[in-house]
Amino acid sequence: MSAGGAKTSSAAAGVKAGGLVVPLALAQFIASYAATNMNVAISAIATDLHTTVIGLQTTITLFTLTMASLMIPGSKLTDIWGRKFCFMLGLSVYGIGALLAAFARSLGLMIFGYSVLEGVGSALLIPPVYILITVAFDDVKSRAKYFGIVSGAAGLGAAAGPLLGGLITSTISWRASFILQVLVVAWIMGMARRITDQPSTDPRPAFDLQGAVLSAAGLFFIVLGILLTNSYGWLTSRKDFTIAGSVIISKGGVSPIWVFVAIGLIILAWFYLHISSRERQGKEPLLHRRLFRNHTANLGLGTQLSQWLVMQGSFFVISVYLQQIWKYSAIKTGLVLTPATVGLLLSSAIAGRLARKRKQRSLIIAGFVLTVLGMALILALVRETAGIAEFLPGLFLMGCGVGVMLTSSVNVVQSSFPDSDQGDISGLSRSVSNLGSSFGTALVGSVLVAARLPAGKPFAVALGVLVGFALAGLGAAIAIPRHRHTEGAVP
Residue 249: helix, strand or coil by DSSP? strand
- pLDDT of 260 reads 92
pLDDT tens per residue, range 214-226: 998 998 898 888 8
- pLDDT of 185 reads 95
Question: What are the average pLDDT values for consecutive 10-residue runs of the chain, which has 491 residues?
Answer: 44 57 90 78 82 76 82 86 92 96 92 94 89 78 75 75 78 90 95 79 80 91 82 83 83 89 95 94 89 91 92 82 76 78 80 76 94 94 78 91 85 82 80 81 74 66 92 95 53 50
Give helix 295-324 / helix 360-381 axis angle, nearest 10°.
20
Q: Which of 128, 134, 141 is nearest to 91 (CA)?
A: 128
Burial degree of 325 (CB within 10 A; 0-12, 13-18, 19+): middle
CA separation for the pair 122, 320 (Å, rounded) = 27
Please give the backbone phi and psi of residue 207, each rounded to the nearest 5 degrees, phi first.
-85, 125
In this structure, the number of other CB atoms found within 10 A of the CB of residue 405 comes to 32
Bridge partners (DSSP) of residue 236 are: 254
- pLDDT of 155 reads 72
Contact between 278 and 65 under an 8 Å Cβ cutoff? The reply is no
Contact between 267 and 217 under an 8 Å Cβ cutoff? The reply is yes
- DSSP letters spanning 357-424: HS-HHHHHHHHHHHHHHHHHHHHHH--TT--GGGTHHHHHHHHHHHHHHHHHHHHHHHTTS-GGGHHH
